[in-house]
């Protein structure tokens, strides 16, 4: 499935809308040295789950972080599992990230 992913840097959201249903990854930028992007929520509309949408959003988000020289702190449970399975992204994770624990998504 070809996705048109949009990035709203001011709001800290990567999203795509399919058949009127919005799917998204939300992050909060922390201006530390290096900059940390706290990935705190991943949402895929229930009717769209299981189609690789969350993975595509997270890949796009991760590539953005890498291109900007930022680090990622996955606090969303889905993101923790994603990065646990994709060790090729270990170098972009913040130093204090613990992928053994599940994380917890914020709703706002």
Q: What is the DSSP letter of 93?
A: B
Question: Quick one: pLDDT at residue 3?
Answer: 87
In 3-state terms, what secondary structure has residue 96?
coil
Does residue 35 contact residue 28 with C-beta atoms inside 8 Å?
A: no
**Residue ranges per structural domain of the chain:** 6-92
The pTM for the full model equals 0.90
Pick among 3.40.50.12500, 3.40.630.30, 3.40.30.10, 3.40.50.300: CATH of 6-92:
3.40.630.30
Whole-number Å distance between alpha carbons of 55 and 4: 14
Q: How far apart are CA 8 and CA 12, in angstroms?
A: 6
User: Tokens 């070809």 identify what position?
Assistant: 2
pLDDT tens digit string along 34-81?
999 999 999 999 999 999 999 999 999 999 999 999 999 999 999 999
Q: Tokens 């040295």 identify what position?
A: 33
């Amino acid at each position: 499935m070809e996705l048109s992913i949009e990035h709203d840097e001011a709001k800290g959201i990567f999203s795509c809308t399919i058949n009127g249903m919005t799917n998204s990854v939300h992050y909060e930028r922390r201006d530390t040295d290096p900059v940390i992007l706290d990935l705190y929520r991943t949402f895929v509309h229930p009717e769209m789950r299981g189609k690789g949408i969350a993975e595509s959003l997270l890949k796009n988000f991760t590539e953005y972080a890498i291109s900007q020289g930022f680090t990622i702190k996955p606090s969303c449970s889905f993101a923790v599992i994603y990065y646990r399975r994709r060790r090729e992204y270990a170098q972009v994770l913040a130093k204090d990230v613990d992928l053994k624990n599940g994380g917890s998504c914020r709703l706002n």
